Amino acid sequence: MTTTAITHISALVTNDPSLGDGSPLGLIQDAAVVIEGDHVVWTGESSKAPATDNAVDAAGRAVIPGFVDSHSHLLFAGDRTQEFNARMSGRAYSAGGIRTTVAATRAATDDELDANVARYLAEALRQGTTTFETKSGYGLTVEDEARALRIAARHTEEVTFLGAHIVSPDYAEDPAGYVDLVTGPMLDACAPYARWIDVFCERGAFDGDQARAVLTAGRAKGLHPRVHANQLGHGPGVQLAVELDAASADHCTHLTDADIDALAQSATVATLLPGAEFSTRAAWPDARRILDAGATVALSTDCNPGSSFTSSMPFCVALAVRDMGMTPDEALWSATAGGAAALRRTDIGCLAPGARADLVVLDAPSHVHLAYRPGVPLVHEVWRRGERTGRRRSG
């Protein structure tokens, strides 16, 4: 296989503490990384790089692992511009929220949904996201949930069945009947296309008992749990996630000390979604409190048309540093290695030998610029599976 060395990297983030400066970021100064095929085979000082078939000069730019966006909702049609405009303008808005997106998604063709996913993923890739999870949840019928997951599986291996997003409007008067549908015929139709099962465990969506029924049914079909937990208020979501060994509890905005202790003593990752708080003017999650307790934290976009319509992981990194108490190092780790942990992956989110060759070259000398220069397009080029996927003109 062809080998390529990227040399003269000002600062290389490996996320391997056995490398470089020994920090969690495993930072190597004046570095190089060697790619063979689709994997990293060597990292170290640029002056010591082995001979390779090809060489790329990073010209003093920083290199980081590709972002791992472990929570998104990309299978939808339409948008909710009017809802967002009203919310930001302080006006009451009585349209249907998620139900508006459900109606638009049901009406869309397969080709339209596929094109939407492709467009948003290309947008994310240009901003450095090389791995992404995405969910169903805007169909809420057996047929529409299954086709959403079929389409998602064309684009990513990290596919999540979220039939339990809200109670379907078709079952507004029979939520127990809808849970039976989700855990029966809908799960049977969707399980072949998904790796994960998720539930929105929240007042107004699904309570703890309903959420447990959904997740345990999914586990019986070979799907691993993740949970939308504790976004709108205190509730059972985080404790349920830990009890069922969910890979992640997502949102984690309202946590008790017991919730944080449970996370810290488990393998369940607290996935924080600052785009949602930004877009709804809600209270920020207290990342500092979670980190100081020893829990693992991931950052993700929550890209969806209602409460966080952003595909930008750099934006989420900047928000986490500015408003959630994270340091620039912690935010970058959480947006890369943390996201990998939330997907229970060890081959992504890092740039140590053996890892998948997913990396981002920044038009900056340090990863700190992601928070230091918010909103600036700092992604110079992206490599995914060892292939250069795009390069931004500079200078």
Share of the chain above pLDDT 70, in %: 97
Poorest-pLDDT segment among 5-19, 34-48, 95-109, 333-347: 95-109
pLDDT at residue number 52: 96
Mean pLDDT of 151-175: 96
**348 in Cβ contact with 66 (< 8 Å):** yes
pLDDT at residue number 272: 98
Q: What is the pLDDT of residues 105-136, one digit of tens each?
A: 999 999 999 999 999 999 999 999 999 999 99
pLDDT at residue number 56: 96
Q: What is the pLDDT of residues 170-198, one digit of tens each?
A: 999 999 999 999 999 999 999 999 999 99
First CA to last CA distance, the chain: 33
Whether this model's pTM surpasses 0.75: yes
pLDDT at residue number 395: 41
Quick one: pLDDT band at residue 1, thresholds 50, 70, 90?
Answer: confident
Q: What is the pLDDT of residues 192-227, one digit of tens each?
A: 999 999 999 999 899 999 999 999 999 999 999 999
What phi and psi, each to the nearest 5 degrees, are found at residue 286?
A: -95, 80
Query: How far apart are the C-alpha atoms of 68 and 202, rounded to whole Å?
Result: 26
**244 in Cβ contact with 262 (< 8 Å):** no
**273 in Cβ contact with 304 (< 8 Å):** no
Instruction: Say if residue 49's pLDDT is above 50.
Output: yes
Quick one: pLDDT band at residue 389, thresholds 50, 70, 90?
Answer: confident
Token pair 């100081």 in the structure block, residue:
292
Query: How far apart are the C-alpha atoms of 249 and 70, rounded to whole Å?
Result: 11
Poorest-pLDDT segment among 98-107, 216-225, 233-242, 295-304: 98-107
Instruction: Say if residue 382's pLDDT is above 60.
Output: yes
Across the chain, what does the average pLDDT equal?
A: 95
DSSP of 220-266, one letter per residue? HTTPEE-EEESSSSS-SHHHHHHHTT-SEEEE--S--HHHHHHHHTS
Closest Cα partner for 130 from 307, 347, 306?
Answer: 347
Instruction: Say if residue 92's pLDDT is above 80.
Output: no
pLDDT at residue number 96: 57
Quick one: pLDDT band at residue 229, thresholds 50, 70, 90?
Answer: very high
pLDDT at residue number 8: 97
Mean pLDDT of 361-388: 97
Mean pLDDT of 339-354: 98
**381 in Cβ contact with 358 (< 8 Å):** no
Quick one: pLDDT band at residue 97, thresholds 50, 70, 90?
Answer: confident
